[in-house]
Amino acid sequence: MNVGIIGAPGYTGAELLRMLVEHPSLKVTVATADSHSGQGAAELYPSLAAAYPDLVYSATDVERLDGLDLVFLAMPHGQSQALVPELAGRVGHLVDLAADFRLKDASLYPTWYGAEHRAPEWLKRFAFGLPELFRSELTGAPLIAAAGCYVTAAALALAPFVRAGLVETTGIIVDAASGTSGSGRGLRDSMHFAHVDGDFSAYGLLDHRHTPEMEQAIGAQILFTPHLAPMTRGILATCYARPAGVSTTAEAIEVLQTAYRSEPFVVVTEAPSGTKATFGSNCAHVTARVDPRTGWLVVLCALDNLVKGASGQALQCANLALGLPETAGLPMAAVYP
């Protein structure tokens, strides 16, 4: 099947290229990039030189995508809204990695993203791309909005407890730290090595744009505080909720084991995992504790923000949409050390 990537020079586009070269059924035939048009992928990313020695980024031209089986939109938020209405009838399946079509309620976009949605009539046509929680909506879906990295970590940690009615659904706290690649390739002063190295900081206090997506995916009220960690990849989410039916750590871990027993990309652990355990893989590691002293349930999730939190998730969703094996082309093992 022929695949196109719009926004291929970004980090998520590069990750898609890395994984698709090993996919048994998908072949990249178009990779667009307006700012790097005419440049070779191997020049921009030497890591892709052996896999794509002759791939050259082209300017974004909708007509070049006509008839493709699958197109990934790997662009910054806001850009897909203009492209989707034009592309949807030309290609078999669209998977958007940005937040443009994740929220079902168009009225949330001005509050959390600072602008009215430009194609609100399309929102309800997109399936939400988090397979472990919404697989039935993704099978055969022509339009998919892949879930964000923070949202994936928090939802995989908390959704099993919320869905089973085992926690209170208000006042849930999510503290999550991400590596610098989460902000993309764009240059910002705050992302310079001298700013990030040796520092650990919170941002987006009380109003981070992924909050409503978390609440939609989890089905509960969330107070979310993201942090920037001095590392390239990874997310560690530490989530706190008041139990309403689970009283011991063993019971909490059993909830996770029951929810993810048949999931190839979720590992339930006894000991807490760090981000290094997921580096480069499409796996998420989750564990839980119940503190009898304070009465809090603590659930942790570690994942690679560029793989399970972005490109790997998008490919996992695409496999489901196309009727392919869900694990095809996706890395199971992390890179270590």
Catalytic center residues: 149
DSSP summary character for residue 141: -
DSSP summary character for residue 335: P
How far CA 19 is from CA of 102, 125, 187, 280, 328, in Å, comes to 23, 27, 25, 10, 9
Assess contact for 143 and 126: CB atoms under 8 A.
Answer: yes
Assess contact for 306 and 280: CB atoms under 8 A.
Answer: no
Query: How many contiguous H segments (helices) and E segments (strands) does the chain have?
Result: 10, 13
Q: Of the candidates 67, 141, 147, 62, which has an alpha carbon nearest to the alpha carbon of residue 101?
A: 147
Assess contact for 123 and 104: CB atoms under 8 A.
Answer: yes
Q: Of the candidates 146, 155, 287, which has an alpha carbon nearest to the alpha carbon of residue 216?
A: 155
Identity (one letter) of the amino acid at 65? L
**Measured distance CA(155)–CA(150) in Å, rounded:** 8
At residue 291, the 3 state secondary structure works out as coil
